[in-house]
């Protein structure tokens, strides 16, 4: 086990264990350009980013944090141990030595959370053992077949409540036209009473071919949207399967999420391409 009590194997601890405070401190060491010591560019190169990608990161406010997020999103082969090994290979033992106590504390908290989640619930799992429990896989959406055939969808729609009017428009344009796509809209299609995170994971991974992410300023503040996006990205490192499709439908004041920056965007705010918006989106969702 990666989080065994005796010894923690950092090679098996995912990068998500590192909190923002540690990432920002890494930036304090690596963001300034050095003539002698390796900086964030050297780390990005070690992670496999090419020249053009690294040049694009230069405009980021905190390139180190951005590189870490994109490295985490594009491949499953990331870990705290691998990051520390890269820093050591780049002769940045000073960073490893200074930040190791903070990193160990983040790993300890991550392992404690895993252990807590693994503990059995205190309540009785069934209210009445005399009544057969409906299998979760076949009873989570409105149109699930009682015999157990799960309802399938072309796309899961990741959105926050303030953007629901646009989701309604999406339903009209993609479901109620000749495209005849089937969208999974949580507030419309999911039956109440089940664990939100469990059901969301099931839908994204097993029921939906793709996920449309409705990006807005409010999206950036939504914990649910953040979970859904990162979970979907973990299923398709580097977006090789074109599983995620980011959509912008109104102007934003906040920066576009860096974790999605490497994906092609469907932009409804550009007048010159608005006429093709729904056709492009529908064809992307219709791919096998």
Tell which wins on pLDDT, 74 or 227: 227
Q: Please give the radius of gyration of the chain, using alpha carbons only, rounded to the nearest integer.
A: 22
Whether 139 has a pLDDT exceeding 80, the answer reads: no
Question: Bridge partners of 215?
Answer: 248
Residue 267's φ and ψ, nearest 5 degrees, are -105, 110
Q: Do residues 50 and 74 lie in contact, with contact meaning Cβ atoms separated by under 8 Å?
A: no
The domain spans of the chain are 10-118, 153-286
- 119: which residues sit within 8 A by CB, 6+ positions away? none
Whether 2 has a pLDDT exceeding 50, the answer reads: yes
pLDDT at residue 121, rounded to an integer: 53
pLDDT at residue 111, rounded to an integer: 86
Confidence band of 118 (pLDDT split at 50, 70, 90): low
pLDDT at residue 148, rounded to an integer: 67
Strands 208-215 and 153-158: parallel
Fold category of 10-118 in CATH: Death Domain, Fas (1.10.533)
Domain 153-286 is of which CATH architecture? 3-Layer(aba) Sandwich (3.40)
Whether 132 has a pLDDT exceeding 70, the answer reads: no
Question: Bridge partners of 266?
Answer: 247
Confidence band of 112 (pLDDT split at 50, 70, 90): confident
pLDDT at residue 17, rounded to an integer: 86
Whether 134 has a pLDDT exceeding 50, the answer reads: no
- 188: which residues sit within 8 A by CB, 6+ positions away? 142
User: Which among 271, 248, 279 is positioned nearest to 261, based on CA atoms?
Assistant: 248
Per-residue pLDDT, averaged over 156-160, amounts to: 96
Whether 128 has a pLDDT exceeding 50, the answer reads: no
Tell which wins on pLDDT, 86 or 123: 86
pLDDT at residue 153, rounded to an integer: 95
Q: Do residues 237 and 75 lie in contact, with contact meaning Cβ atoms separated by under 8 Å?
A: yes
In whole angstroms, what separates CA 185 from the centre of its chain?
18
Per-residue pLDDT, averaged over 219-233, amounts to: 92
With residue 116 as reference, give the H or E element that holds it.
helix 93-118
User: Which among 184, 247, 257 is positioned nearest to 212, based on CA atoms?
Assistant: 247
Q: Which long-range contacts (CB under 8 A, 24 or more apart) does 45-51 make?
A: 46/86, 46/89, 46/90, 47/71, 47/86, 48/75
Per-residue pLDDT, averaged over 99-122, amounts to: 80
pLDDT at residue 137, rounded to an integer: 59
Burial of 52 (0-12, 13-18, 19+ CB in 10 A): exposed
Per-position DSSP letters for 234-257, written without gaps between them: HHSGGGTT--EEEEE-S--SSPPP
pLDDT at residue 129, rounded to an integer: 40
- pTM confidence score: 0.55
What is the per-residue pLDDT across 12-49, written as a single tens digit (0 to 9) for each?
A: 888 888 888 888 899 999 998 876 789 999 999 999 99
Residue 245's φ and ψ, nearest 5 degrees, are -130, 105
Confidence band of 235 (pLDDT split at 50, 70, 90): confident
| Residue 200: half-sphere exposure toward Cβ, Cα within 13 Å | 19
Provide the mean pLDDT of the chain: 85
Per-residue pLDDT, averaged over 200-229, amounts to: 94
pLDDT at residue 126, rounded to an integer: 45
What is the per-residue pLDDT across 164-188, written as a single tens digit (0 to 9) for each?
A: 999 999 999 999 999 999 999 999 9
């Amino acid at each position: 086990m990666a989080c065994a009590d005796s010894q923690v194997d950092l090679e098996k601890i995912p990068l998500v264990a590192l909190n923002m405070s540690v990432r920002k401190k890494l930036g304090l060491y690596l963001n300034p350009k050095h003539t002698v010591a390796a900086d964030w560019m050297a780390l990005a190169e070690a992670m496999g980013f090419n020249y053009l990608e690294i040049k694009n990161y230069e405009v980021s406010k905190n390139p180190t944090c951005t590189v870490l997020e994109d490295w985490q999103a594009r491949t499953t082969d990331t870990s705290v141990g691998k990051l520390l090994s890269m820093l050591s290979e780049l002769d940045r033992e000073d960073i490893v030595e200074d930040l190791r106590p903070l990193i160990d504390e983040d790993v300890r908290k991550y392992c404690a959370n895993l252990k807590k989640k693994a503990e059995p619930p205190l309540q009785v799992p069934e209210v009445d053992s005399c009544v057969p429990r409906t299998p979760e896989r076949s009873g989570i959406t409105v149109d699930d077949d009682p015999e157990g055939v799960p309802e399938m969808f072309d796309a899961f729609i990741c959105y926050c409540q303030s953007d629901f009017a646009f989701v309604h428009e999406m339903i009209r344009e993609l479901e109620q036209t000749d495209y005849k796509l089937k969208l999974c809209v949580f507030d419309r299609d999911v039956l109440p009473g089940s664990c939100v995170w469990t059901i969301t994971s099931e839908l994204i991974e097993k029921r939906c071919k793709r996920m449309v992410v409705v990006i807005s300023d409010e999206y950036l503040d939504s914990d649910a949207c953040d979970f859904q996006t990162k979970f979907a990205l973990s299923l398709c490192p580097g977006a090789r399967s074109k599983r995620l499709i980011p959509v912008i439908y109104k102007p934003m004041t906040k920066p576009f999420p860096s974790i999605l920056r490497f994906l092609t965007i469907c932009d409804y705010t550009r007048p010159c391409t608005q006429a093709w918006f729904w056709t492009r989106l529908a064809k992307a969702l219709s791919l096998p």
